[in-house]
Amino acid sequence: MIYFTENKSDMKRLTTCCTVICLLAACSKHHDKPGDGGQGGKDSTVIRLKTAGANTYTYDSLARLARITYGNSVTGRTDYTYTKDSVLEKSFDQQGNPQGPYTIYYLNSDAISTHGRYIINPNATDIPALFFNLTYDADRRLVEEFIGDEGSAPESHVVNYYNNGNEDSSKLFSAQTGLLAELTRYEYFTDKSNWLDPVYNGVSYIGKGNASLLKKIVEMQTGDTTVIEYTYEFDADNKPIKRQAFLNGAPWGAAIDYTWVTMKL
């Protein structure tokens, strides 16, 4: 998938290609805080991410993410196609030709994805898709993921833990042996709403997002620990307008600037 964070790649994030505030704050008919998810009432408004660095985000009439247009010379865009029971995420090159893997999320009656397929190579019949099953708690938070080649037993098992509205930690296990492969812990700016969460920015089919803005990720594997930290600048409304990432204490890539758009529903 996307989006608004740059976590290191690992199997657990592949499921939301992976994952990625439901702080519903309504004032009169205006929904202008993280968590609206595009589900406002008549004449309501929502705030959505407009740009992140060189990437531009566009939304449909329901304020759902419809397209990401990339400011690079490789991938041109990713389109999001919605039906009653599925969401298709598919990328295209600068000439408009289909490019690379794509993901299909299958939705239940609550419009939440319970399983999906990550098609690695659409043109190769001998390469199976990755298949993932997703489980949520009563608060619509993603708590468990199983990932593996389609038609085979799962290879990876992820369990997510929450505290005070935020994902506190997650554990990546081998689904075959039950052995722990990676432990990830998260810290947040608990006084800052999570404007950058995909769930707030038009992606509601992967469950409820974190309440607070991400501050730190610590990924621990046998013999190796990786620390990713984030600093931000904010506008007058406490929306992030710049973010810098640090990998093991050193700047990680260029700072990302953010702009925002208000949409009427």
Q: Can you read off the two tokens belonging to residue 211?
A: 């309440």
Predicted confidence band of residue 265 (pLDDT cuts 50, 70, 90)? confident
| pLDDT value of residue 199 | 83
Point out the least confidently predicted range of 135-144, 184-193, 197-206: 197-206
What is the DSSP code string of 167-185? EEEEEEEETTT--EEEEEE
Decide if pLDDT at 19 tops 90: no
Quote the distance between the C-alpha of residue 52 and its chain's center.
Answer: 14
pLDDT tens figures, 86-141 = 999 999 999 999 998 999 999 999 999 999 999 998 888 889 999 999 999 999 99
Q: Which amino acid is at 144?
A: E
- Rounded (5°) CA angle 83-101-76: 85
Cβ contacts of 123 within 8 Å, gap of 6 or more: none
Dihedral, 147, 150, 154, 160 alpha carbons, nearest 10? 20
- Share above pLDDT 90 across residues of the chain, in percent, rounded to a whole number: 77
Alpha-carbon distance 121 to 254, whole Å?
31
Decide if pLDDT at 32 tops 60: no
Report yes or no: 11 and 172 within 8 Å, Cβ to Cβ: yes
Q: Can you read off the two tokens belonging to residue 28?
A: 């009169």
| Fold of the CATH domain 11-257 | Porin (2.40.160)
Q: Can you read off the two tokens belonging to residue 160?
A: 């997510």
Alpha-carbon distance 146 to 207, whole Å?
16
Q: Can you read off the two tokens belonging to residue 185?
A: 């812990």
What is the DSSP code string of 189-213? EEEEE-TT-TTTTT--TT----SEE
Quote the distance between the C-alpha of residue 35 and its chain's center.
Answer: 14
- Rounded (5°) CA angle 162-51-79: 80
